[in-house]
């Protein structure tokens, strides 16, 4: 099978028939063999009924229904787990992503040999606040990850099947699939300018809480990707630095007192100096961080997945 299209959705009953017809038209025109997997993320409208009718009319359309709303990451994970196509396309169900982009995304994977291609909505039809927060978010993600993408959170992406089978999308990590792919060993990550359309039905699911959660998730995915198998390298290093600074400060305070005594100069008690308590707190915090790293290292060493690595090829069976 050439292409699997994964579509997470929540309350999108009005857009689904038009989206399904549009995808079918593109696939037929390009002679692609395909499947469309629609994941109903606990919708409280008639989205599932629409999916069932579409599936009866077109056997290439398949559906997964969640009992309640789990979020976009859970929907993508379930869709990725079910795909069979050589190239996987993810897109939103609100008609803001154009199926006409599918052939271009497919060619970048099959002909230009990218592992993953992310869409870039260069011209956006979004509320002003969403545009501003998106720019700030993408700039931060670029700086932290080193991946030169303009639009990390674009729902329209294409992947080699091995990519989606090698990453675990959970929580709200759908925003950081390029980062997850990079740390899984897939470094050929590109982008393609795609058309962004104004929302035709329903209302946006964007809220300020998603913006705040996005940055918390960025910290999480960066830490887990880099230090999940060696937490001591993070906590131990920071703890050692903070403890050392505190120790140096404590020694300096004590040495200053000794010098004053040797020169018969009146000087306040060491315990009366605010620097002594700052140094003491730094040493305590440094010790706690070091012990946190030590305990996390013990937990990591005891994990059943401590030697779970992504192997792409072998020369023997």
The two beta strands, 34-40 and 3-9, are parallel
Query: Mean of the pLDDT values across residues 274-282?
Result: 89
The two beta strands, 87-90 and 116-120, are unpaired
DSSP string, the chain: --EEEEEEESS-TTTHHHHHHHHHHHHHHTT--EEEEEEE-S-SSSHHHHHHHHHHH-TTEEEEE-SS---HHHHHHHHHHH--SSEEEE--SSS-B-GGGHHHHHHHHHTS--SEEEEE-SS--S-HHHHHHHHHHHHHHHHHH----S-TT-S-EEEEHHHHTT----TTGGGGHHHHHHHTT---EEEEE--B----SS-----HHHHHHHHHHHHHHHHHHHHTT-THHHHHHHHHHHHHHHHHHHHHHHHHHHHHHHTT-----GGG-HHHHHHHHHHHHHHHHHHHHHHHHHHHHH-TTTT-------S--
pLDDT digits (tens, 9 = 90+) for 133-143: 778 778 888 88
pLDDT of residue 230: 73
Query: Mean of the pLDDT values across residues 264-276?
Result: 79
Confidence band of 280 (pLDDT split at 50, 70, 90): very high
pLDDT of residue 91: 96
pLDDT of residue 215: 65
Q: Which two tokens stand for residue 149?
A: 């993408």
Domain 3-227, classified CATH 3.30.1600.10, yes or no: no
Q: For residues 252 and 246, what is the distance between their CA atoms, to the nearest angstrom?
A: 10
Verdict on whether the full-model pTM lies above 0.75:
no
Q: Which two tokens stand for residue 104?
A: 């271009």
Q: Which two tokens stand for residue 141?
A: 């993600």
Query: Mean of the pLDDT values across residues 131-153?
Result: 82
Contacts of 228 by beta carbon, 8 Å cutoff, 6+ apart: 300
- Residue spans per domain, the chain: 3-227, 232-302
Q: For residues 171 and 73, what is the distance between their CA atoms, to the nearest angstrom?
A: 6
Spatial CA neighbour of 140 closest among 180, 91, 175: 175
Confidence band of 307 (pLDDT split at 50, 70, 90): very low
- In this predicted structure, the answer to whether residue 29 has a pLDDT above a threshold of 50 is yes
pLDDT of residue 206: 53
pLDDT of residue 58: 96
pLDDT digits (tens, 9 = 90+) for 248-258: 998 888 888 88
Q: Which two tokens stand for residue 190?
A: 């590109």
pLDDT of residue 271: 78
Query: Mean of the pLDDT values across residues 183-192?
Result: 92
- In this predicted structure, the answer to whether residue 17 has a pLDDT above a threshold of 80 is yes
pLDDT of residue 111: 96
- In this predicted structure, the answer to whether residue 125 has a pLDDT above a threshold of 90 is no
Average pLDDT, the chain: 85
- The overall longest dimension of the chain from CA atoms, in Å, is 97
Query: Mean of the pLDDT values across residues 260-288?
Result: 85
pLDDT of residue 207: 53
Query: Mean of the pLDDT values across residues 292-310?
Result: 66
pLDDT digits (tens, 9 = 90+) for 211-232: 566 666 666 766 666 666 677 7
Query: Mean of the pLDDT values across residues 115-142?
Result: 80
Q: Alpha carbon of 166 to those of 8, 71, 109, 162, 307: distances in Å?
A: 19, 20, 16, 6, 15
As a three-state string, the secondary structure of 265-309 is CCCCCHHHCHHHHHHHHHHHHHHHHHHHHHHHHHHHHHCCCCCCC
pLDDT of residue 309: 46
């Amino acid at each position: 099978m050439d292409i699997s299209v994964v579509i997470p959705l929540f309350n999108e009953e009005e857009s689904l028939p038009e989206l399904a017809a549009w995808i079918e038209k593109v696939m037929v025109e390009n002679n692609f063999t395909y499947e469309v997997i629609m994941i109903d993320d606990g919708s409280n409208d008639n989205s599932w009924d629409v999916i069932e009718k579409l599936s009866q009319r077109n056997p290439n359309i398949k559906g997964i229904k969640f009992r309640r709303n789990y979020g976009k990451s859970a929907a993508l994970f379930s869709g990725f787990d079910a795909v069979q196509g050589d190239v996987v396309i993810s897109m939103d169900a609100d008609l803001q992503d154009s199926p006409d982009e599918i052939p271009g995304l497919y060619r970048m994977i099959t002909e230009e040999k990218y592992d993953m291609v992310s869409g870039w909505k260069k011209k956006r039809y979004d509320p002003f606040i969403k545009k501003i927060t998106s720019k700030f978010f993408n700039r931060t993600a670029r700086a932290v990850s080193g991946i030169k993408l303009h639009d990390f959170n674009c729902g329209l992406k294409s992947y080699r099947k091995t990519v989606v089978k090698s990453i675990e999308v959970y929580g709200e990590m759908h925003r950081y699939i390029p980062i997850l792919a990079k740390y899984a060993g897939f470094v050929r990550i590109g982008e393609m300018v795609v058309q962004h359309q104004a929302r035709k039905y329903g209302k946006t699911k964007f809220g300020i809480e998603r913006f705040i959660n996005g940055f918390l998730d960025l910290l999480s995915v960066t830490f887990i990707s880099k230090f999940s198998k060696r937490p001591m390298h993070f906590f131990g290093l920071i703890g050692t630095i903070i403890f050392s600074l505190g120790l140096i400060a404590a020694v300096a305070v004590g040495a200053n007192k000794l010098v004053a005594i040797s020169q018969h100069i009146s000087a306040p008690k060491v315990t009366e100096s605010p620097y002594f308590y700052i140094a003491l707190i730094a040493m305590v915090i440094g010790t706690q961080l070091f012990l946190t790293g030590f305990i996390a290292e013990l937990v990591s060493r005891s994990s059943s997945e401590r030697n779970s690595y992504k192997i792409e090829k072998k020369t023997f069976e």
